[in-house]
Amino acid sequence: MKKIIRTENAPAAIGPYSQAVEVKGTLYISGQVAINPETGKVVEGGITEQTEQVMKNIGAILNAAGYDFSNVVKSTCLLSDMANFAAMNAVYGKYYPENPPARAAFAVKDLPLGVLVEIETIAVR
């Protein structure tokens, strides 16, 4: 049985999808972008500020479902430009100081709302 996870502490879905879905102890978090849930707007700044907001959004969803960053087993990072990889990686790494999850990172043509980064996440209890 799937359980829909929703929190006000992360941006609301802007389409026909859930913030996250939990199935049998596995949490699938939809790609998060740099929207501040308090303002509903993309945060100002560059890749560092945007990645920080993305990770905060992921953390809020993990927390709402009773998970934390230590439960994350896989991330997929989508970047508007691979030139931003090192800066994104510096912020991302702060959230996984030990035993980081498996990860893939890709440059894509465009991301929603013109953001620089989007990260989807899978966590397991």
Would you state the pLDDT for residue 14? 82
pLDDT per position as a tens digit, 63-112: 999 999 999 999 999 999 999 999 999 999 999 999 999 999 999 999 99
The answer to whether the pTM exceeds 0.95 is: yes
Residue 11 CB partners (closer than 8 Å, separation 6+):
19, 32, 33, 35, 36, 37, 40, 57
- For residues 52 and 81, give the distance between their C-alpha atoms in angstroms, rounded to a whole number: 17
Task: Please name the fold of domain 2-124.
Answer: 60s Ribosomal Protein L30; Chain: A; (3.30.1330)
Contact between 80 and 115 under an 8 Å Cβ cutoff? The reply is yes
Would you state the pLDDT for residue 37? 97
pLDDT per position as a tens digit, 19-55: 999 999 999 999 999 999 999 999 999 999 999 999 9
